[in-house]
Amino acid sequence: MRVEGLHAGYGQTPVLPDVNIEAHPGEAIAVIGPTGAGKTTLLKTIMGMLRPTRGRVHYDGRHLNGLRAFQVARLGLAYVPAERELFPGMTVLENLELGAFRCKEQTHLERVFELFPRLAERRRQLAGTMSGGEQQMLAIGRALMGGPKVLMLDEPSTGLAPKAVAELYRQLSKLKSAGLTIVLTEQQVALALSLTDRAYVLEQGSIRLSGRSSELAGDPAIRKAYLGVA
């Protein structure tokens, strides 16, 4: 997946003046930056939920510009918003089944239950009655039900207790090891850099810095601004 010269925003309000990023097959990349930097806008534009004013999004040899979100999803990209957007009055199983639009759901259901055993245990429970960590598992599981090639996660640790965050990142590490391409935005920068191969620093809608995650984790400016280490 490659983003070139992307300009996007809301109405007459520009958010991303010129963004260039790329993710190679099987790679995990992080987009970090302060609140309001444009991270969510970037993912929504890639997913077809927002139309760019300029620039292009390339995926698997084709341009995604002009495609609607469901068409982008059918090509193999899945998006998990920070708000999770579950159906609270439906069961865990029903929420998962809604994600099975591309492939045979039973195969993917077994994989999701293997990755998140708690979802298997609570398959009949209403999504709205689950804890924040369980809901995040369900949101990711629903995205995986479509058999995506690229999983995009917006602030996956939002609102979760430290124990739930640690468990979530263990599962994301398993997905990465299995060869899934992962693109995530995150406020917990140390975790994001520990999971990913490369990272981009997004500030005021522009990429200010990029490189190997391990190198950025040791950068004094990154450590001071995002890791709380002088």
pLDDT in tens, 66-119: 899 999 999 999 999 998 899 999 999 999 998 886 665 567 898 999 999 999
Mean pLDDT (whole number) for 30-55: 92
In-domain check, residue 115: no
pTM for this one? 0.90
Q: In what order do the strands lie in the sheet with 62-63?
A: 62-63, 54-59, 2-10, 13-22, 206-212, 198-203, 28-32, 181-186, 150-154, 77-80
In-domain check, residue 51: yes
Mean pLDDT (whole number) for 49-65: 92
Question: How far is it, in rounded angstroms, from Cα 139 to Cα 99?
Answer: 9
Q: Work out the pLDDT band at 148, boundaries 50, 70, 90.
A: very high
In-domain check, residue 56: yes
Residue with tokens 């599962």, as numbered in its chain = 171
In-domain check, residue 213: yes
pLDDT at 71: 93
In-domain check, residue 23: yes
Cα Rg of the chain (Å, integer):
17
- Domain hosting 203: range is 1-76+149-158+181-230
Q: Which residues contact 189 (CB under 8 A, 6 or more apart)?
A: 30, 32, 222, 226, 227
User: For residue 199, what is the enclosing H or E element?
Assistant: strand 198-203
Question: How far is it, in rounded angstroms, from Cα 153 to Cα 150?
Answer: 10
pLDDT at 159: 86
Closest CA to 197 of 30, 20, 19, 42: 30
In-domain check, residue 62: yes
Portion of the chain with pLDDT greater than 70, in percent: 96
- Per residue in 151-207, pLDDT (tens digit) is 999 999 988 889 999 999 999 999 999 999 999 999 888 899 999 999 999 988 899
Mean pLDDT (whole number) for 140-148: 93
Q: Work out the pLDDT band at 12, boundaries 50, 70, 90.
A: confident
In-domain check, residue 121: no
- The domain tally of the chain equals 1
pLDDT at 230: 47
Greater confidence, 43 or 11? 43
In-domain check, residue 154: yes
Binning the chain into helix, strand and coil, the percentages to the nearest 5 are 40, 25, 35
pLDDT at 43: 96
Task: Answer left, alpha or beta for residue 76, where phi above 0 means left and psi between -120 and 50 means alpha.
Answer: left
Judge contact between 196 and 30, C-beta under 8 A: yes
Residue 60 sits in a domain of what CATH number? Answer: 3.40.50.300
CA atoms within 13 A on the CB side of 37: 20
Mean pLDDT, the chain, whole residue set: 91
Question: How far is it, in rounded angstroms, from Cα 178 to Cα 176?
Answer: 5
Closest CA to 189 of 211, 165, 217: 217
pLDDT at 201: 93
